[in-house]
Each structure stands twice: as C-alpha cells, then as structure tokens.
Structure 1
Amino acid sequence: MSTEPDWITTPVTPDLLRGQLDVEPTAHGLLPHRLPARARRQIPDDQTATAQAQPSGVRVVFRTAATTVELDTLPTKRAYRGFPTPADGVYDLVADGKLAAQATVTGGRLRTITDMFTQAVELTEGPPGTARFTGLPAGDKDVEIWLPHTEITELIALRTDSPIEPARDHGRRVWLHHGSSISHGSNATHPTAIWPALAAAAGGVELVNLGFGGSALLDPFTARAIRDTPADLISLKLGINIVNGDVMRLRAFTPAVHGFLDTVREGHPDTPLLVVSPILCPVQEDTPGPLAPDYDGTTLRFKATGDPAERAAGRLTLNVIRAELARIVEQRAADDPNLHYLDGRDLYGESDYAEFPLPDEIHPGPDGHRRIAENFARLVFTGKGPFTP
C-alpha cells in the first residue's frame, strides 16, 4: 500500500511570494527577481545580474494544516573554476515564526565562472528537483519557505497534504535593506541565518533584502528601484564594494551618495532612512582596492592591492568612506530629521573580529552574521534607535 499522501498541487503565483520586486515567467515556472525589469535592462555586468536573481530574503508564504510540503524548483547553482564546488543551497521552512524543517534540491543548472575578472561563464544544463519537508507541526500555521540565498531558483509547483490559503496579514512594517555581499548573505549557511533575516525576525518586520553580492555600487537603477518600492523603513549599507572594486575616487563618491539619497527621497520623503557604513574589514581599513583573490589550494582569502599613499589623491579606503558618509548624513540631516547614520563598526568592530574573525578576510562567518544581527536589532529596532516603533 502506498504511503504517499493525497497531494494538493498549487501553481506558484506572485501572490504566494514575499521579498521580491518582480517575477519573470519561464519555460518551467516563475523566476523571482530582486530588481524590476527596467533596472535589469540597465545592469552592465553578469555579477549584478546574477546577484539580483539569487533570491536572498525571498520566500513562498501561505497558511495550511499540512504536515508534508514539497516545492518543485529548477535551481541554478554557481561555481568558480579552480575552486571547490559549493554545497547545495538550503531551503528553510519556517512555521509560525520558527524554523521547522530544511531541505536541498540536487541537480539543476550549473553556472561556472571561468574567469573571476572578466566574469566569463559556462552554463551546464540540469533537471529540476524537489525540496521535501516532512514532520511539520499539526494544525493551521503560517508557513514561509525561504529560498536559497545564493542559488537562482525557478519555482515550478507547490504540493501539500492539506489545502493552503493566503497567508495572514500581520500588519508588520516593511523594512527594505540595501547592501553588499554581507547583506546578501555570503558565508551564511542557510537563508534565515543571514544577518538581515535575523535582524528582521528580532525587529518584528517584513524584510525586503536588496543586498547584492559585489554590487552595492550606488547604481542609479538600484536607487530608482528603492524609490518605487513601498517600505516603512529603509537602510542603505554603503561603501565596501566601492573600495573592493576601486570603482570611484572621493570626488565621484560624494555626489554619487547625494544622488542616491536624493532619488530614494523622491519616493520616500519622510520614511526613516538609515545610512550604514562598512563593518570592520582590516585588509581595507586604510588600503585602497581593488581586492584580489588569494587561494592557497585549500582556503580562499582576499587581499587589497592598492597603495595607502594614494589616499591623498582621492583613492578610497573604508576609513575614508566612513568619515565621508558621516559628514554627508550630518549635513543633510539638518533638513531631513528622518535621516540617520550608523557606523558599521558598531555592528562588527575590533572586539567582534577578535572573537569571530572574517574567514576570508572580508565576509563574516555564521557567528559574525548573528553578531551583526544582534547589534543591529539592539541599536536600530529598540530604545532610541531610528526604527523603534
């Protein structure tokens, strides 16, 4: 006798999703995007195009009494030639706010970056698969399936052993956060363990995560996307990718920040807006970029290749950027009382680095993500923090 449940199959439609800004119909199903189509047409590089399609913070949400849930997907995984192949991405199922089950999907497509500098890519096709969750709590519950934060995920179908209905509206405030690979979730082991997800849970808010690995570059198309997205709270973690890529000098950086903030304010004139500078990153505190990979055959680390003496000519370092961001916010706050500044070293500073070093010299590990989230929740969502209700 078959032990398979009587499945109820539900197509994945946009109304089941949270955390995305757009969806794209594909031959297989639905592909969430974290930038709208207009912005995607202006993306100049594969790095950003890939990062925004990786569904960090995107989740499938519904209410059900099901104890078994399956989600069919076609993942697109990423690897770098010459480096170990990453583990399969993790799907987190959260029931009534608590992590209840995890799954992975084997197979799928593989995008191999053959050159880290030119971002040349080879694509290998592969089949769809299924994330299966069993033993879920009985009774009606709010379910969120958080998609792998670094794995492009086409959504095909949802199967449950009990009917589903739309998720309840809990009236939570929407927090839109923009940042770099750390906000995207680099080195976090699963999607609800990235620091913005942990901070959102602590703050009781709905997360829209626009953390893009390597791509927090003050791009005008990103600013316009933030401008046009409904949000109750907005934070912008700026600076480290500018230094990593050595893409600007101080003369260009200052007006670019003003322009980014001006654009966001066009759509959100009075929304609490927090500018966050980079966390501590010793290799770039006083040394300009660009970064270069340093792989010894076992461990990947990064090193800064610039000359500290060139700071006088406008080359950017993290200390230079922190000072300039603080100055810009102080200047603008005279006319914008809802604009705030947070030094990233208050989220992860010298004592945190001593306790939880950066495994690759630029990204925190799982303990670092938790520490950043704890400090952000304490400084921003409680007491006199700018996002305190």
Structure 2
Amino acid sequence: MTDWITTPVDARVLRGALDVEATEHGVLPHRLPARARRQFPDGYLAMVEAQPSGVRVAFRTGATAVELDVLPTKTVYPGAPATPEGLYDLVVDGRLTGRTTVTGGNVRTVDMTTGSMETTPGPPGTARFSGLPAGAKDVEIWLPHRETVELIALRTDAPVEPLPDRGRRVWLHHGSSISHGSNAAGPTEIWPAVAAARGGVELVNLGLGGNALLDPFVARALRDTPADLISIKIGINLVNTDLMRLRAFVPAVHGFLDTIREGRPEVPLLVVSPILCPIQEDTPGPLAPDFSGRQLSFRALGDPAERVLGKLTLNVIREELARITAQRAAEDPNLHYLDGRTLYGEADFAELPLPDALHPDTAAHRRIGERFAEHAFHAQGAFAADND
C-alpha cells in the first residue's frame, strides 16, 4: 500500500493562472484576475477564462506515483459531435511522459444558438500517474484546456516542493479560441504550448475562446501581469461576432496597445494578425454554426459588399494592424507585427484544412506553434533573447 503525502494545491504549485479562487471543493484556477471578472456579465467568457488552457500543477519531487483529485466541468453542445474527454498531460523534466483522463464531473450544456447554459452536477475523479523515474525531477501536470477543473488534492509517494526559478522568461499571450486550443487533442499540443516549449519560456496563456475582442479589462490584465514577452493575436473574433466597424476598430486597437504600454513600456510586444480562414477573408460576420453536414462547421452570414460600409473582414483587419503597428513602431522600437498567414496560409490550408472551417486540428496547431517559435524566438525575432 502506497504511503501518500498530501500537498495543498495553491498558487505555489500552479503556473499559468492569474488568480486562484477557493471553492467548496478545493481551488479553481482563473486566467483573468478577479477585478476583470467583475467587469463582464457574459456567461460564455466566464466559462472560457476558467478553462485552464496553459495552466499546470508544477513541482519538484522524487515521487514515482502522483494522484490529482479534481472536479471537472465538461461542456457539451447539443447538435454537435461529442467533445472528447479532457486530457491531463504529465511532463517530466520538459518531456511529455504520460496522459490520462478523469471520469465523472459536472456537465455543462451550452446551446450554441442562444448561448444559454445548464449545468448538471457530477462526482469528482482522480488523474493518476505511476512509473515516474526515480530521483529528483521537475513535474508538470497540464490541465485540460477545454474543461473547467477544480483542484481538490495532490498526492505523491515522496515529498513535493515548488519548482525553483529556472531563469526562464515569461511569455504572456492573448488570443482567440485558436490560441485557447480549440480542436487540439491535448493541453501540451495547443500552439502556444508548442511555441513555448520550442522557445524555452514560461507560458501564461490568455487565449479566450470567442473573446479576443479588445476588451479594456483584458488589456489591463496584460498591463498588470509581470511578463518578459507579450503577444496579442487579434482579429477573428471581431469579425465573426460582427462586434464593431472599422471606425471603432482602429482607436480600439490603439487604446488596447496604449493600456499595455502604460505598465510594460519596453517589453517586446508582438501583434499577430489572423491565420488564414477562407470563410471570412473577405466576408464579414456574424458567424453561425452549421449542423447540416456530418460534423459541426461554421459559415459567415455577412455580405462582402458591406466592406465599404466599414464592416470588418480578415483582410481589412490585417491591413489595419500592419498600418497601425508600422505607425507606432516609429516611436516604439519594441513593437512588432506578424502576419498570421505566415503561421498558417493557403498552402497549409490545402494540406491541413480547418476541420470545422474555423479552427485548426492538432497537426496544424503543431505547425503554427513551430512557425511562431521560428519567427519570434530566432536571433532577429521579436522575442530574441538579446531584444528584451
């Protein structure tokens, strides 16, 4: 029988979360701070910011067996294919060495047409890993990127201590559902995690599905979070929600960047435009789910002719972001721009099409992450070690 040692799950053993909330069962990691959460009434945003994309339980230990008790909340979408079970990825000394799922948990049903939600309670479960190598090692358990996870207890067969400072730079990233990890199989396979591993940096991922909308409270979170590197990937959500017109978009981008620069005036800041998405390159939103085929897909409802009225398309977004960053870079040499089609463009779409016409699959996530690392972290890149 294993002699278990229980370690409290708190901020000391959590990486990638901006806040930790005490709950009835344990603790809930948040990717937006409490002040920001008080400033939005949207239930969907509340759901996605609490989904721990990029968040991991991290510690140093000599343990060969680890258990993590959790209460997941799994999301289902009526009319859409079943969402795969969330994966818990075990990374030991930087290498993925194990992967498991957790049964049970709450079930949140989301109507994609109306946005209404209903939650059915369920029991906690346990993520178990055994056969870890003997001796002291750095262990990370990456939490499912598409499930809310309340953390109840961490058990090991040897003592645990927080990870020491490894001297890595902190990369703070904000983006849409693609940055959140939609359609990637596991939490270490979302493109920001792939890029972070390649770049040797500590990831804080503020990819918020459906909610990269230039919200001021997100800009303030980016401003107030200690980071050595910052990137923002802007565009697709503004188009597919049909949230604003060109007149509002331009000053909103300036205001978002101004806010970040209030607290991080000299940190390398990389603005990334949307990857290729044919259904919205020249067609405005809004976007709607399409259940007519064998699998869920999306279609744009706007009219390309409405571009002259100020409606946004991906090409309009890219043109304006390139212009805005070039204008500001004259006085801000640490501001950089990357066309998202460099990460995923027409040739990539032909080889690795978007399964639902909107989100990349696991293989495309890997490609996007690798290319981001090649562009951002190379010797002349925005995030080169000698640039910050």
The residue that corresponds to 1:224 in the other structure is 220
Q: How many residues get paired?
A: 385
* Letter of the structure 1 residue corresponding to residue 299 of structure 2: K
Offset at residue 83 of structure 1 (A): 2.4
Offset at residue 82 of structure 1 (A): 2.4
CA distance in 2, matches of 1:166, 1:22: 17
**1:97 aligned to 79, 94, 107, which one?**
94
CA distance in 2, matches of 1:339, 1:168: 31
Contact 1:57–1:208 (Cα < 8 Å) also in 2:
yes
CA distance in 1, matches of 2:296, 2:214: 27
* Letter of the structure 1 residue corresponding to residue 364 of structure 2: G
Deviation per CA, 1:100-123: give whole Å up to 9, x if none: 11111111001101x323311111
**2:239 aligned to 236, 243, 260, which one?**
243
Deviation per CA, 1:97-155: give whole Å up to 9, x if none: 00111111111001101x32331111100011000011111211000000000100000
CA distance in 2, matches of 1:61, 1:210: 19
CA distance in 2, matches of 1:45, 1:322: 27
Tell me whether 1:299 sits opposite 2:295 in the alignment. yes
The residue that corresponds to 2:264 in the other structure is 268
The residue that corresponds to 1:256 in the other structure is 252
The residue that corresponds to 2:322 in the other structure is 326
**1:28 aligned to 4, 25, 41, which one?**
25
Deviates more, 1:164-173 or 1:123-132: 164-173
Deviation per CA, 1:279-328: give whole Å up to 9, x if none: 00000000001111111362111011100001000010000000000000
SS of corresponding position for 1:157: strand
Where does 1:67-106 land on structure 2 (aligned, <5 Å)?
A: 67-106=64-103
CA distance in 2, matches of 1:156, 1:292: 37
CA distance in 2, matches of 1:309, 1:235: 32
Give the 4+ runs in structure 1 shifted more than 4 A: none
Tell me whether 1:233 sits opposite 2:239 in the alignment. no
SS of corresponding position for 2:326: helix
The residue that corresponds to 1:19 in the other structure is 16
The residue that corresponds to 1:362 in the other structure is 358
The residue that corresponds to 1:383 in the other structure is 379
Contact 1:101–1:136 (Cα < 8 Å) also in 2:
no
SS of corresponding position for 1:24: strand
Unaligned runs of 5+ in 1: none
**1:130 aligned to 116, 126, 132, which one?**
126
SS of corresponding position for 1:236: strand
Offset at residue 90 of structure 1 (A): 0.3
Deviation per CA, 1:336-355: give whole Å up to 9, x if none: 01000000000000111111
CA distance in 2, matches of 1:257, 1:44: 22
Q: Over aligned residue pairs, what C-alpha RMSD do you find?
A: 0.8
* Letter of the structure 2 residue corresponding to residue 12 of structure 1: V
* Letter of the structure 1 residue corresponding to residue 28 of structure 2: L
The residue that corresponds to 2:38 in the other structure is 41
CA distance in 2, matches of 1:299, 1:8: 45
The residue that corresponds to 1:145 in the other structure is 141
SS of corresponding position for 2:324: helix
Q: TM-score of the superposition, structure 2-length normalised?
A: 0.98
SS of corresponding position for 2:348: helix
The residue that corresponds to 1:286 in the other structure is 282
SS of corresponding position for 1:324: helix
Contact 1:142–1:168 (Cα < 8 Å) also in 2:
no
**1:346 aligned to 342, 345, 355, which one?**
342
**2:306 aligned to 306, 310, 334, which one?**
310
Q: TM-score of the superposition, structure 1-length normalised?
A: 0.98
The residue that corresponds to 1:120 in the other structure is 116
CA distance in 2, matches of 1:334, 1:345: 24
Contact 2:5–2:155 (Cα < 8 Å) also in 1:
yes
CA distance in 2, matches of 1:181, 1:231: 22
Tell me whether 1:195 sits opposite 2:187 in the alignment. no
* Letter of the structure 2 residue corresponding to residue 207 of structure 1: L
CA distance in 2, matches of 1:300, 1:119: 16
Tell me whether 1:50 sits opposite 2:47 in the alignment. yes
Deviation per CA, 1:64-123: give whole Å up to 9, x if none: 11111000000011111222331220000100000111111111001101x323311111
SS of corresponding position for 2:122: coil
